[in-house]
Amino acid sequence: MSSISESMLKYYNYDIVFAEIPDEVTLAVNITCCPNHCKGCHSPWLQQDRGEVLDSCAIDALIGRYGGQITCLCFMGGDSNPQEVEHLSVYIRSNYDLIKTAWYSGKPQLPVAIKTSSFDYIKIGEYQEKYGPLNKQTTNQRLYKMNARGEMENITSRFWK
Protein backbone atom coordinates (compact mmCIF):
# COMPACT_ATOMS: atom_id res chain seq x y z
CA MET A 1 0.00 0.00 0.00
CA SER A 2 1.40 3.39 -0.91
CA SER A 3 1.74 6.13 1.69
CA ILE A 4 -0.09 9.43 1.48
CA SER A 5 3.10 11.24 0.51
CA GLU A 6 3.52 8.99 -2.56
CA SER A 7 -0.03 9.36 -3.76
CA MET A 8 -0.87 12.98 -3.05
CA LEU A 9 0.75 16.30 -3.62
CA LYS A 10 0.94 18.68 -0.69
CA TYR A 11 1.87 22.35 -0.59
CA TYR A 12 3.58 24.35 2.12
CA ASN A 13 2.59 27.87 1.04
CA TYR A 14 2.09 30.10 -2.00
CA ASP A 15 2.79 33.62 -3.15
CA ILE A 16 2.01 35.93 -6.05
CA VAL A 17 5.29 36.51 -7.88
CA PHE A 18 6.43 38.44 -10.94
CA ALA A 19 9.89 37.14 -11.81
CA GLU A 20 9.46 33.36 -12.03
CA ILE A 21 7.59 33.36 -15.38
CA PRO A 22 8.31 36.27 -17.78
CA ASP A 23 5.29 38.39 -18.74
CA GLU A 24 2.99 36.60 -16.26
CA VAL A 25 1.62 37.36 -12.81
CA THR A 26 2.06 34.00 -11.21
CA LEU A 27 0.61 32.26 -8.20
CA ALA A 28 3.59 30.11 -7.20
CA VAL A 29 2.55 27.09 -5.12
CA ASN A 30 5.41 25.54 -3.16
CA ILE A 31 5.02 21.75 -3.14
CA THR A 32 6.57 19.59 -0.41
CA CYS A 33 7.98 16.01 -0.35
CA CYS A 34 10.69 17.13 -2.81
CA PRO A 35 12.82 14.04 -3.59
CA ASN A 36 15.72 15.87 -5.23
CA HIS A 37 18.05 16.66 -2.27
CA CYS A 38 20.00 19.33 -4.15
CA LYS A 39 23.20 20.41 -2.41
CA GLY A 40 22.64 23.95 -1.10
CA CYS A 41 18.83 23.59 -1.30
CA HIS A 42 17.24 27.03 -0.90
CA SER A 43 14.15 25.63 0.87
CA PRO A 44 15.00 22.44 2.79
CA TRP A 45 11.59 22.37 4.46
CA LEU A 46 10.12 21.55 1.04
CA GLN A 47 11.90 18.19 1.26
CA GLN A 48 9.69 17.26 4.23
CA ASP A 49 6.30 15.53 4.16
CA ARG A 50 4.18 18.42 5.38
CA GLY A 51 1.53 20.91 4.29
CA GLU A 52 -1.98 20.84 2.90
CA VAL A 53 -3.24 18.47 0.23
CA LEU A 54 -3.01 19.95 -3.26
CA ASP A 55 -5.87 18.50 -5.29
CA SER A 56 -8.51 19.92 -7.62
CA CYS A 57 -10.53 21.23 -4.65
CA ALA A 58 -7.49 23.11 -3.33
CA ILE A 59 -6.85 24.47 -6.83
CA ASP A 60 -10.46 25.68 -7.02
CA ALA A 61 -10.07 27.42 -3.67
CA LEU A 62 -6.80 29.11 -4.65
CA ILE A 63 -8.08 30.29 -8.00
CA GLY A 64 -11.36 31.33 -6.38
CA ARG A 65 -9.39 33.60 -4.09
CA TYR A 66 -6.62 34.84 -6.39
CA GLY A 67 -7.80 34.09 -9.94
CA GLY A 68 -8.66 37.74 -10.66
CA GLN A 69 -5.12 38.84 -9.82
CA ILE A 70 -3.06 36.26 -11.69
CA THR A 71 -2.43 35.06 -15.25
CA CYS A 72 -0.56 31.86 -14.38
CA LEU A 73 -0.34 29.18 -11.69
CA CYS A 74 3.07 27.60 -11.22
CA PHE A 75 3.69 24.28 -9.53
CA MET A 76 6.96 24.79 -7.68
CA GLY A 77 8.18 21.20 -7.34
CA GLY A 78 6.06 18.06 -7.42
CA ASP A 79 8.74 15.68 -8.67
CA SER A 80 7.47 13.10 -6.16
CA ASN A 81 4.35 12.71 -8.31
CA PRO A 82 4.72 14.15 -11.85
CA GLN A 83 1.51 12.50 -13.05
CA GLU A 84 -0.50 14.41 -10.45
CA VAL A 85 1.19 17.70 -11.41
CA GLU A 86 0.19 17.06 -15.02
CA HIS A 87 -3.32 16.04 -13.97
CA LEU A 88 -3.80 19.30 -12.05
CA SER A 89 -2.37 21.36 -14.90
CA VAL A 90 -4.82 19.79 -17.32
CA TYR A 91 -7.59 20.40 -14.79
CA ILE A 92 -6.75 24.13 -14.64
CA ARG A 93 -6.50 24.47 -18.42
CA SER A 94 -9.83 22.70 -18.84
CA ASN A 95 -11.68 24.77 -16.27
CA TYR A 96 -10.04 28.22 -16.23
CA ASP A 97 -9.57 29.74 -19.69
CA LEU A 98 -7.61 32.76 -18.49
CA ILE A 99 -5.05 30.97 -16.31
CA LYS A 100 -1.89 29.50 -17.81
CA THR A 101 0.10 26.80 -16.06
CA ALA A 102 3.78 26.38 -15.35
CA TRP A 103 5.89 23.71 -13.70
CA TYR A 104 9.22 24.26 -11.98
CA SER A 105 10.66 20.75 -11.91
CA GLY A 106 13.99 20.06 -10.24
CA LYS A 107 14.75 17.15 -12.56
CA PRO A 108 17.15 17.43 -15.52
CA GLN A 109 14.50 15.78 -17.71
CA LEU A 110 10.81 15.07 -17.35
CA PRO A 111 9.44 11.50 -17.25
CA VAL A 112 8.64 10.29 -20.78
CA ALA A 113 4.99 9.74 -19.83
CA ILE A 114 4.49 13.47 -19.18
CA LYS A 115 3.13 15.48 -22.13
CA THR A 116 4.83 18.87 -22.28
CA SER A 117 1.73 20.13 -24.11
CA SER A 118 -0.12 19.84 -20.79
CA PHE A 119 1.65 23.02 -19.64
CA ASP A 120 2.29 26.55 -20.92
CA TYR A 121 5.74 26.76 -19.33
CA ILE A 122 8.17 24.18 -17.98
CA LYS A 123 11.40 24.76 -16.10
CA ILE A 124 13.75 21.82 -15.80
CA GLY A 125 17.11 21.34 -14.17
CA GLU A 126 18.23 20.67 -10.64
CA TYR A 127 19.74 23.49 -8.63
CA GLN A 128 23.52 23.31 -8.77
CA GLU A 129 25.38 25.88 -6.69
CA LYS A 130 28.32 26.06 -9.07
CA TYR A 131 26.08 26.93 -12.05
CA GLY A 132 23.58 29.13 -10.19
CA PRO A 133 19.85 29.77 -10.68
CA LEU A 134 17.99 30.83 -13.83
CA ASN A 135 19.11 34.45 -13.62
CA LYS A 136 22.78 33.47 -13.95
CA GLN A 137 24.09 32.98 -17.48
CA THR A 138 26.05 29.96 -16.21
CA THR A 139 22.88 28.16 -15.07
CA ASN A 140 22.20 24.54 -15.99
CA GLN A 141 18.44 25.21 -15.64
CA ARG A 142 16.17 26.00 -18.58
CA LEU A 143 12.75 27.60 -18.87
CA TYR A 144 10.67 26.61 -21.88
CA LYS A 145 7.50 28.15 -23.26
CA MET A 146 5.19 26.01 -25.38
CA ASN A 147 4.72 27.95 -28.60
CA ALA A 148 1.76 27.89 -30.97
CA ARG A 149 3.26 24.95 -32.87
CA GLY A 150 3.44 22.90 -29.67
CA GLU A 151 7.23 23.16 -29.54
CA MET A 152 9.28 23.89 -26.43
CA GLU A 153 10.88 27.30 -26.94
CA ASN A 154 13.86 27.98 -24.70
CA ILE A 155 13.25 31.39 -23.09
CA THR A 156 15.91 31.14 -20.36
CA SER A 157 17.72 34.19 -21.70
CA ARG A 158 14.74 36.33 -20.66
CA PHE A 159 16.13 36.13 -17.12
CA TRP A 160 19.43 37.67 -18.16
CA LYS A 161 18.14 41.02 -19.47
- Is residue 130 involved in binding ligand SF4 (CB under 6 A)? no
Shortest Å distance, C-beta 48 to ligand SF4: 10
Integer Cα distance of 30 and 75 in angstroms: 7
Q: Which of residues 6-45 bind ligand SF4 (CB under 6 A)?
A: 34, 36-38, 41-43
Instruction: Count the helix, strand and coil residues of the chain and give each as a percent rounded to the nearest 5.
Output: 25, 25, 50
Q: Which of residues 108-127 bind ligand SF4 (CB under 6 A)?
A: 126-127
Closest chain position to ligand SF4 (CB): 106
- Please give the sequence-ordered ranges of beta strands (E in DSSP) within 4-141, or none if there are none: 10-17, 26-31, 52-53, 72-76, 100-104, 121-124
Binding residue for ligand SF4, selected from 47, 71, 140, 156, defined by CB under 6 A:
47
Shortest Å distance, C-beta 109 to ligand SF4: 14
The residue (of 72 and 124) whose beta carbon lies closer to ligand SF4 is 124
> In whole angstroms, how far apart are CA 11 and each of 69, 150, 153?
20, 29, 28
